């Protein structure tokens, strides 16, 4: 990896009048890809840090959207540092024809998740290495993401728990994980060799992009928030699962705005060492009508390739 000075790489950027500013750093250079992160520094020293991965179906995406920025600024204003990070999006790296079949799509998706996890891990290592200069507490790092980014952070967490992340300091784990419409992928059922960090999971039960529960093809599967929550309940792992009844994949973005107070409370409570509960919140509109909750593999592929 090309080593880049934290001082020389930093650039102050103002988003808009009244919004928090952020500093941009290059955290890695991979072949032709320069990977950056934007760091929001709160007024408080030794703050908790949320490391955020954007959504985009592993085909694109960006570190900033209006909804993301509202969450980032809200957290920074309330004493939480934020790093929103690049990662390579390679689902279509071999061309559209590579995902024309179910097997081809699954193989391409597995590769894309692996690459994203590699980059997210490198960003995490960069942040840990430079924690003193950046002014956050490395013992209070929260992995967070939206959609493909949520898959990335959950997959990173399960790889940490299974001892597969040698790029990170020995014994490292995140203080908590925040997933907005995410899942883990596995060959067979996902296994956690060590107990995962406390989690905050958001998911709509009408999501046709990322499974609310699970979907499998042969030995390959994606296991969504409901499946993960069941595993955490069985293992007595503290977590909060916020179900949004009747909601589709929009929860991956709307959670940044509608439930940002819940995100802040989770970070504060976990950071204080007082998050010990299992809470499942069932959020349903007053006049909810019938809606589809069962989707085929073809439905998921179609929704993601639109």
Between 117-121, 217-221, 275-279, the lowest mean confidence (pLDDT) is in 217-221
Distance, CA of 304 to CA of 306 (rounded, Å): 6
Total domain count, the chain: 1
pLDDT for 31? 80
208 phi and psi, to 5 degrees? Answer: -105, 10
Contact 145, 184 (CB under 8 A): no
Domain holding 267, by residue range, is 6-305
Q: Helices H, strands E: what count in the chain?
A: 9, 13
Give me the count of residues in the chain: 306
The pLDDT tens digits for 36-90 are 999 999 999 999 999 999 999 999 999 999 999 999 999 999 999 999 999 999 9
- CA 261-276-190 angle, 5° bins: 90
Alpha-carbon separation of residue 133 from 21, 111, 130, 137, 147 (angstroms): 17, 34, 6, 11, 31
Has residue 1 been placed in a domain?
A: no
Distance, CA of 72 to CA of 75 (rounded, Å): 5
The pLDDT tens digits for 109-119 are 999 999 999 99
202 phi and psi, to 5 degrees? Answer: -115, 135
Has residue 182 been placed in a domain?
A: yes
- 4 pLDDT higher than 60: no
CATH value at residue 87: 3.40.50.1820
Has residue 269 been placed in a domain?
A: yes
| 172 three-class SS | coil
Has residue 260 been placed in a domain?
A: yes
Has residue 244 been placed in a domain?
A: yes
Half-sphere exposure of 48 (CA within 13 A, CB side): 28
């Amino acid at each position: 990896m090309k080593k880049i000075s934290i001082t020389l790489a930093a650039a102050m950027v103002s988003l808009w009048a009244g919004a928090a500013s952020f500093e941009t750093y290059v955290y890695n250079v991979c072949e032709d890809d320069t990977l950056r992160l934007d760091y929001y520094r709160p007024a408080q020293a030794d703050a908790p840090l949320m490391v955020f991965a954007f959504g985009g179906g592993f085909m694109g995406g960006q570190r900033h959207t209006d909804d993301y920025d509202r969450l980032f600024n809200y957290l920074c204003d309330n004493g939480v540092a934020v790093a929103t990070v690049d990662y390579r999006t390679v689902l279509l790296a071999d061309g559209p024809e590579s995902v024309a079949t179910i097997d081809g799509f699954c193989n391409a998706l597995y590769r894309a998740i692996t690459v994203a996890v590699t980059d997210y891990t490198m960003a995490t290592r960069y942040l840990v290495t430079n924690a003193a200069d950046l002014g956050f507490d490395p013992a209070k790092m929260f992995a967070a993401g939206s959609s493909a980014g949520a898959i990335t952070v959950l997959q990173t967490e399960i790889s940490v728990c299974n001892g597969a992340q040698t790029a990170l300091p020995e014994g490292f784990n995140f203080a908590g994980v925040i997933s907005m419409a995410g899942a883990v992928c596995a060959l067979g059922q996902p296994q956690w060799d060590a107990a995962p960090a406390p989690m905050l999971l958001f998911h709509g039960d009408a999501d046709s992009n990322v499974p609310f529960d699970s979907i499998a093809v042969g030995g390959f599967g994606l296991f969504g928030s409901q499946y993960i929550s069941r595993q955490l309940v069985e293992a007595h792992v503290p977590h909060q699962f916020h179900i949004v009844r009747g909601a589709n994949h929009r929860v991956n973005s709307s959670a940044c705005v509608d439930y940002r107070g819940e995100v802040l409370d989770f970070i504060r409570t976990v950071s204080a060492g007082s998050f010990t509960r299992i809470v499942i919140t069932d959020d349903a509109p007053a006049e909810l009508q019938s809606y589809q909750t069962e989707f085929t593999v073809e439905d998921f592929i179609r929704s993601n390739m639109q």
